[in-house]
Amino acid sequence: MDVAVFGANGRTGRLIVAELARRGHAPLAITRRPVEVAGAAAHRVLDLSDTAAVREAAGGAAISALASSRGNRACSALAEALGPCSGLRLVTVAGAAVDAPGDRKPWPERRFGPLLARLVGEMILDRQREFAILTLAEARWTMLRPPRLTNGAATGRAALSFDRPVSGRVARADLAVAAVDALFDEELVRRAPFVAEARRGGGRPAAATADKALAPRAGSR
Protein backbone atom coordinates (compact mmCIF):
# COMPACT_ATOMS: atom_id res chain seq x y z
CA MET A 1 0.00 0.00 0.00
CA ASP A 2 1.23 3.54 -0.77
CA VAL A 3 1.56 5.55 2.44
CA ALA A 4 2.74 9.17 2.56
CA VAL A 5 4.93 10.01 5.55
CA PHE A 6 5.13 13.71 6.45
CA GLY A 7 8.17 14.62 8.55
CA ALA A 8 9.92 11.55 7.13
CA ASN A 9 13.36 12.99 7.92
CA GLY A 10 12.60 13.27 11.65
CA ARG A 11 13.70 10.79 14.29
CA THR A 12 10.28 9.13 14.48
CA GLY A 13 9.49 9.75 10.81
CA ARG A 14 12.49 7.74 9.65
CA LEU A 15 11.44 4.82 11.87
CA ILE A 16 7.90 4.96 10.50
CA VAL A 17 9.21 4.81 6.93
CA ALA A 18 11.40 1.83 7.85
CA GLU A 19 8.49 0.06 9.59
CA LEU A 20 6.20 0.56 6.58
CA ALA A 21 8.89 -0.82 4.26
CA ARG A 22 9.46 -3.77 6.59
CA ARG A 23 5.76 -4.66 6.28
CA GLY A 24 5.90 -4.51 2.49
CA HIS A 25 4.25 -1.12 1.96
CA ALA A 26 5.52 1.62 -0.33
CA PRO A 27 6.29 4.67 1.82
CA LEU A 28 6.48 8.07 0.15
CA ALA A 29 8.95 10.13 2.21
CA ILE A 30 7.82 13.76 2.31
CA THR A 31 10.40 16.26 3.54
CA ARG A 32 11.00 19.98 3.36
CA ARG A 33 14.48 19.60 1.88
CA PRO A 34 16.06 16.97 -0.35
CA VAL A 35 17.23 14.06 1.81
CA GLU A 36 17.50 10.31 1.43
CA VAL A 37 15.26 8.30 3.81
CA ALA A 38 16.12 4.62 4.08
CA GLY A 39 13.28 2.32 3.06
CA ALA A 40 11.33 4.96 1.13
CA ALA A 41 9.88 3.80 -2.18
CA ALA A 42 9.78 7.43 -3.34
CA HIS A 43 10.75 10.88 -2.09
CA ARG A 44 9.05 14.26 -2.44
CA VAL A 45 10.07 17.69 -1.22
CA LEU A 46 7.00 19.76 -0.28
CA ASP A 47 6.08 23.10 1.23
CA LEU A 48 3.14 22.50 3.60
CA SER A 49 1.52 25.75 2.45
CA ASP A 50 1.02 24.21 -1.00
CA THR A 51 -2.34 22.67 -0.14
CA ALA A 52 -3.00 21.10 -3.54
CA ALA A 53 0.40 19.40 -3.60
CA VAL A 54 0.02 18.23 0.02
CA ARG A 55 -3.37 16.65 -0.74
CA GLU A 56 -2.12 15.05 -3.90
CA ALA A 57 0.90 13.59 -2.10
CA ALA A 58 -1.17 12.30 0.82
CA GLY A 59 -3.35 10.19 -1.48
CA GLY A 60 -5.45 7.73 0.52
CA ALA A 61 -3.19 7.04 3.51
CA ALA A 62 -0.75 9.23 5.40
CA ILE A 63 1.18 9.33 8.67
CA SER A 64 2.55 12.57 10.08
CA ALA A 65 5.56 12.76 12.40
CA LEU A 66 5.94 16.51 11.93
CA ALA A 67 6.96 18.73 14.83
CA SER A 68 5.79 22.31 15.31
CA SER A 69 8.06 24.88 16.91
CA ARG A 70 8.21 28.61 17.63
CA GLY A 71 6.86 30.38 14.54
CA ASN A 72 6.38 27.05 12.76
CA ARG A 73 2.79 25.78 12.71
CA ALA A 74 3.62 22.68 10.71
CA CYS A 75 1.16 20.35 12.46
CA SER A 76 -1.93 22.54 12.26
CA ALA A 77 -1.01 23.50 8.68
CA LEU A 78 -1.05 19.85 7.68
CA ALA A 79 -4.37 19.25 9.48
CA GLU A 80 -5.89 22.26 7.69
CA ALA A 81 -4.71 20.98 4.34
CA LEU A 82 -5.78 17.37 4.83
CA GLY A 83 -8.87 17.79 7.03
CA PRO A 84 -11.30 18.13 4.10
CA CYS A 85 -10.00 14.94 2.39
CA SER A 86 -12.86 12.53 3.08
CA GLY A 87 -11.11 9.58 1.45
CA LEU A 88 -7.98 9.92 3.54
CA ARG A 89 -6.88 7.73 6.46
CA LEU A 90 -4.53 9.92 8.51
CA VAL A 91 -2.46 9.05 11.60
CA THR A 92 -0.69 11.91 13.31
CA VAL A 93 1.95 11.65 16.04
CA ALA A 94 1.30 14.43 18.57
CA GLY A 95 2.02 14.45 22.30
CA ALA A 96 0.55 13.66 25.70
CA ALA A 97 0.34 17.38 26.50
CA VAL A 98 -2.56 17.70 24.07
CA ASP A 99 -5.87 17.65 25.95
CA ALA A 100 -8.87 15.70 24.64
CA PRO A 101 -12.37 15.05 26.00
CA GLY A 102 -12.41 12.12 28.42
CA ASP A 103 -8.85 12.70 29.69
CA ARG A 104 -8.18 11.94 33.34
CA LYS A 105 -4.53 12.94 33.50
CA PRO A 106 -2.80 12.53 36.86
CA TRP A 107 -2.57 15.62 39.05
CA PRO A 108 1.11 16.51 38.37
CA GLU A 109 0.29 16.83 34.69
CA ARG A 110 -2.88 18.79 35.36
CA ARG A 111 -0.92 21.06 37.68
CA PHE A 112 2.26 21.47 35.61
CA GLY A 113 0.59 21.22 32.21
CA PRO A 114 -0.14 24.95 32.04
CA LEU A 115 3.49 25.67 33.08
CA LEU A 116 4.76 23.34 30.35
CA ALA A 117 2.46 25.06 27.91
CA ARG A 118 4.05 28.40 28.85
CA LEU A 119 7.59 26.99 28.40
CA VAL A 120 7.02 25.29 25.05
CA GLY A 121 3.79 27.15 24.44
CA GLU A 122 3.63 27.58 20.71
CA MET A 123 4.43 23.94 20.07
CA ILE A 124 1.68 22.66 22.35
CA LEU A 125 -0.80 25.30 21.24
CA ASP A 126 -0.26 24.26 17.65
CA ARG A 127 -0.90 20.61 18.51
CA GLN A 128 -4.06 21.63 20.37
CA ARG A 129 -5.10 23.61 17.30
CA GLU A 130 -4.39 20.55 15.17
CA PHE A 131 -6.66 18.47 17.41
CA ALA A 132 -9.46 21.05 17.13
CA ILE A 133 -9.17 21.02 13.33
CA LEU A 134 -9.21 17.24 13.22
CA THR A 135 -12.33 16.92 15.35
CA LEU A 136 -14.22 18.73 12.55
CA ALA A 137 -12.38 17.00 9.70
CA GLU A 138 -13.78 14.80 6.95
CA ALA A 139 -10.55 12.77 6.91
CA ARG A 140 -10.54 9.58 8.99
CA TRP A 141 -7.91 10.56 11.51
CA THR A 142 -6.20 9.15 14.59
CA MET A 143 -4.00 11.30 16.81
CA LEU A 144 -1.44 9.38 18.87
CA ARG A 145 -0.37 11.09 22.10
CA PRO A 146 2.98 9.81 23.38
CA PRO A 147 4.71 11.18 26.50
CA ARG A 148 8.53 11.72 26.48
CA LEU A 149 10.20 10.03 23.52
CA THR A 150 13.37 7.96 23.96
CA ASN A 151 15.79 6.49 21.46
CA GLY A 152 17.00 2.91 21.32
CA ALA A 153 15.55 -0.42 20.35
CA ALA A 154 11.85 -1.25 20.35
CA THR A 155 10.64 -2.88 23.58
CA GLY A 156 7.36 -4.27 22.21
CA ARG A 157 5.67 -2.89 25.33
CA ALA A 158 3.90 0.16 23.90
CA ALA A 159 0.36 0.32 25.26
CA LEU A 160 -2.59 2.38 24.08
CA SER A 161 -4.82 4.02 26.65
CA PHE A 162 -7.56 6.59 26.42
CA ASP A 163 -7.74 8.55 29.63
CA ARG A 164 -4.08 8.88 30.67
CA PRO A 165 -0.73 7.46 29.51
CA VAL A 166 0.34 4.25 31.29
CA SER A 167 3.84 5.69 31.90
CA GLY A 168 5.94 8.77 31.25
CA ARG A 169 7.89 7.60 28.23
CA VAL A 170 7.90 5.55 25.06
CA ALA A 171 10.64 4.59 22.61
CA ARG A 172 10.40 6.19 19.18
CA ALA A 173 10.85 2.68 17.73
CA ASP A 174 7.74 1.44 19.57
CA LEU A 175 5.84 4.59 18.61
CA ALA A 176 6.64 3.95 14.93
CA VAL A 177 5.17 0.45 15.18
CA ALA A 178 2.07 1.84 16.96
CA ALA A 179 1.64 4.50 14.26
CA VAL A 180 1.65 1.90 11.47
CA ASP A 181 -0.67 -0.39 13.48
CA ALA A 182 -3.05 2.54 13.98
CA LEU A 183 -3.24 3.21 10.25
CA PHE A 184 -4.95 -0.16 9.79
CA ASP A 185 -7.08 -0.08 12.94
CA GLU A 186 -10.59 1.17 12.14
CA GLU A 187 -11.51 1.27 15.82
CA LEU A 188 -9.05 4.10 16.30
CA VAL A 189 -10.65 6.38 13.71
CA ARG A 190 -11.47 9.81 15.26
CA ARG A 191 -9.74 8.88 18.49
CA ALA A 192 -6.67 10.25 20.24
CA PRO A 193 -5.10 7.47 22.33
CA PHE A 194 -2.02 7.87 24.48
CA VAL A 195 0.86 5.55 23.55
CA ALA A 196 3.32 4.80 26.35
CA GLU A 197 5.59 2.02 27.49
CA ALA A 198 3.90 -0.41 29.85
CA ARG A 199 6.10 -1.44 32.77
CA ARG A 200 7.74 -4.84 32.49
CA GLY A 201 5.26 -7.53 33.47
CA GLY A 202 2.42 -5.01 33.59
CA GLY A 203 0.20 -3.17 31.15
CA ARG A 204 -1.15 -4.50 27.92
CA PRO A 205 0.19 -4.50 24.37
CA ALA A 206 -0.98 -1.66 22.13
CA ALA A 207 -3.16 -2.84 19.28
CA ALA A 208 -4.56 -6.08 20.62
CA THR A 209 -6.00 -5.32 24.01
CA ALA A 210 -6.39 -1.58 24.54
CA ASP A 211 -9.78 -0.96 26.07
CA LYS A 212 -11.23 0.72 23.05
CA ALA A 213 -14.71 0.63 24.53
CA LEU A 214 -13.64 3.45 26.83
CA ALA A 215 -12.33 5.61 24.03
CA PRO A 216 -14.29 8.77 23.35
CA ARG A 217 -14.73 9.40 19.64
CA ALA A 218 -14.09 13.03 18.83
CA GLY A 219 -16.40 14.82 16.40
CA SER A 220 -19.78 13.65 15.25
CA ARG A 221 -18.96 11.92 11.97
Ligand X SMILES: NC(=O)c1ccc[n+]([C@@H]2O[C@H](COP(=O)([O-])OP(=O)(O)OC[C@H]3O[C@@H](n4cnc5c(N)ncnc54)[C@H](OP(=O)(O)O)[C@@H]3O)[C@@H](O)[C@H]2O)c1
Q: Would you tell me which residues interact with ligand X (CB under 6 A)? A: 7, 9-13, 31-33, 48, 65-67, 72, 74, 93, 95, 146, 148-149, 172
What is the phi-psi region of residue 215: left when phi exceeds 0, alpha when psi lies from -120 to 50, beta otherwise? beta
Find the shortest distance in angstroms from Cβ 65 to ligand X: 5
Find the shortest distance in angstroms from Cβ 71 to ligand X: 10
Residue 133: name the closest of 183, 63, 93, 81 by CA: 81
In the complex with ligand X, the residue whose CB is nearer, 33 or 200, is: 33
In the complex with ligand X, the residue whose CB is nearer, 67 or 192, is: 67
In the complex with ligand X, the residue whose CB is nearer, 77 or 188, is: 77
Find the shortest distance in angstroms from Cβ 211 to ligand X: 22
Find the shortest distance in angstroms from Cβ 73 to ligand X: 8
- Cα separation, 9 vs 5, in Å, equals 9
CB neighbours of residue 1 within 10 Å: 14
Please give the C-alpha separations between residue 16 and each of 8, 45, 99, 112, 177, in angstroms, as whole numbers. 8, 17, 24, 31, 7
In the complex with ligand X, the residue whose CB is nearer, 15 or 88, is: 15
